[in-house]
Chain A
Amino acid sequence: MSIFRNVVFVAAIAGLFAGIVLACLQAYATVPLILKAEVYEQAAGGHEHAAAPAADAGTNATSSAAPAEEEEGWAPADGVERFTFNVLSNVVTGIGFALILVAFSEFAGGIGNWRQGVFWGLAGFAVFTLAPGLGLPPELPAMPAADLIPRQVWWISTVVATAVGLALIAFRRSLPLTVLAIVLIVAPHIVGAPQPASYETPIPEGLHHQFVVAVTLTNLVFWVVLGAVVGVVRGRFTGQSSSLRDSFA
């Protein structure tokens, strides 16, 4: 199982690094917007979901948070605990994405250096952020959305179709397959993502737009860093870099 072990090792380092970078970016770019949205959510009479009592920590929001906490399970407390769990979630998710990226790229000969890693990262960004984000833009709390399961199914289908499409374009030099690839990439958007019954929301449109931009850009940085780190670590690991063919096996 040495190949498996090496893939996990490289993915763990890359996921750890990129996950920490992403969590730090989020602390400035996206989490403040989520906290703002939670204020609107609370003001609008709560929601079946509010993760934790929102930004008004100064008032020690026990009274306003009580009803939410009654119906919900455990959630990290605001502040350090919430940030710590966010870093943890990003690192674990980063390692998950890194495992998929490394395993997939090994089939194609492996990521030889940081520059190849950047291109693989861009592909990951297109597959996991851009494509599903077109139909299901990043949501803030209290935003209307269709049922969770159909959205998760659409998200996964779009990711798979886009990944297969990009792989066909990159690794099969044939016109019919390229046409098929474009069809695959476009198809989920013709089917269309599940939409909410009503678009009414207490969240200002400007806040949501800001959030979409912040999420897209922070994930772009995450994927480029993830790919580049995989390229660097893997090069060190195999003892020789910059060759397309020096794959793990």
Chain B
Amino acid sequence: MNTASVSLGTSASSQSRLLQLAFAGLLGIFVIGFTGFSHIEAVHNAAHDARHSMAFPCH
């Protein structure tokens, strides 16, 4: 897992690369969970039209 590859002038091991990509994906899932799935009333109301318009389960 130590094969270094080039990335925009820096290098990263493939393990670190996987980890960073996984982190980015998790951050995205967290964001979607907040805007699309949160049960907090104010969050729901603020994102109401977007939630309906993106067909998230609502109400």
> Complex Cα distance A52/B20, Å?
40
> Complex Cα distance A73/B45, Å?
8
Asked if A138 contacts B55 (CB within 8 A), the reply is yes
With A155-B56, A249-B17 as given contacts, are A4 and B50 in contact (CB-CB < 8 Å)? no
Render B43-54 as a binary contact track against A, CB cut-off 8 A, 1 for contact: 001111111111
**Residues in B whose Cβ lies below 8 Å from that of A185:** none
Asked if A3 contacts B54 (CB within 8 A), the reply is no
* In the complex, residue of chain B having the shortest beta-carbon distance to the beta carbon of A35: B49
**Residues in B whose Cβ lies below 8 Å from that of A1:** 20
Specify which of A34, A73, A99, A155 is in contact with B41 (CB 8 Å cutoff).
A73
Asked if A89 contacts B46 (CB within 8 A), the reply is yes
Total interface residues in chain B, CB < 8 Å: 44
Asked if B48 contacts A51 (CB within 8 A), the reply is yes
With A100-B29, A140-B52, A145-B57 as given contacts, are A93 and B41 in contact (CB-CB < 8 Å)? no
Specify which of A97, A141, A237 is in contact with B32 (CB 8 Å cutoff).
A97
**Residues in A whose Cβ lies below 8 Å from that of B1:** none
Asked if B54 contacts A215 (CB within 8 A), the reply is yes
* In the complex, residue of chain B having the shortest beta-carbon distance to the beta carbon of A193: B57
* 13 cross-chain CB contacts under 8 A: A2-B10, A26-B50, A72-B41, A82-B49, A86-B47, A93-B50, A96-B31, A103-B21, A145-B57, A155-B56, A215-B55, A218-B53, A249-B12
- What are the 10 tightest A-B residue pairs by CB atom distance, in nearest-first order? A99-B28, A96-B31, A103-B25, A73-B41, A75-B45, A89-B50, A89-B47, A151-B57, A100-B28, A138-B55
A-side residues, CB < 8 A to B, are: 1-4, 6-8, 11, 22-23, 26, 30-31, 34, 47-49, 51-52, 72-76, 82, 85-86, 88-90, 92-93, 95-104, 106-107, 129, 132-133, 136-141, 145, 148, 151-152, 154-155, 214-215, 218-219, 237-239, 248-249
